[in-house]
Amino acid sequence: MGKLNIAPTKSNLLVLKRQLAFAEEGYDLLEQKRQILIFELMSRLNRACDAEQNVREAMKKAFESLSEAEIEKGSESIERAATAIKMDHQISISDQHLMGMKIPHVTVKTETVSVQFGFEGTSAHTDIAMSRFIEVLPLLAELAELENAVRRLALELRKTQRRCNALSKIFMPDYRETILYITGSLEERERESFVILKMIRDRLEQPIEDQSSDNH
């Protein structure tokens, strides 16, 4: 941090003042963006924690149902039933726009699962387990979306913070110091010019005979 290497002229002073005003305006906008990013990041982070808890609870119930089905019918029977089930899941990804960023939005569409008791070697526990695992899919999609958003927001926040720091701790202080230096230099020149002009004026206002005696 320090004074810029620039000539102390009035034109340079005007340029620096305009650039400083522009930098201050940019800093204010970046600070607003930073505050919004912090809010969005914390909001999605809290939602991600809730979504992760929902996934854990849903997975726990699904595996509990699967364990009950395996105890009742055996793991081989459950594996045969799993391979026989054909489900059509559609996953679509669209973009959400926030502060110039693109954040993916994940949507999972699952076909309605009806509880089927007619499979040979299966039971109600098998159908319940299947239903519960399918119910986990939208929860996983929501969690993935939120975790991705958190990573992108954190990265953008880090970049914005670096820019704010560069402006507030380097760019603007350097410009302010340079403006003070040029202002002081110009004022000093004006004082020197005033003294010189006063001396010249006083000299010109002296009577001719006084000037002649001064020359002798």
User: Residue-wise pLDDT tens for the chain (216 aa)?
Assistant: 577 888 889 999 999 999 999 999 999 999 999 999 999 999 999 999 999 999 999 999 999 988 888 887 777 777 776 666 666 678 888 888 888 888 888 888 876 554 444 545 556 778 788 888 888 989 999 999 999 999 999 999 999 999 999 999 999 999 999 999 999 988 888 887 777 777 777 777 776 555 555 555
210/105 Cα distance (integer angstroms): 93
Q: What's the whole-model pTM score?
A: 0.73
Domains, the chain, in order of start with CATH, read 10-175 (1.10.287.3240)
What are the angstrom distances between the C-alpha of 166 and each of 30, 33, 139, 155, 181? 11, 15, 41, 17, 21
Among 27, 28, 48, 30, smallest CA distance to 152 is for 48
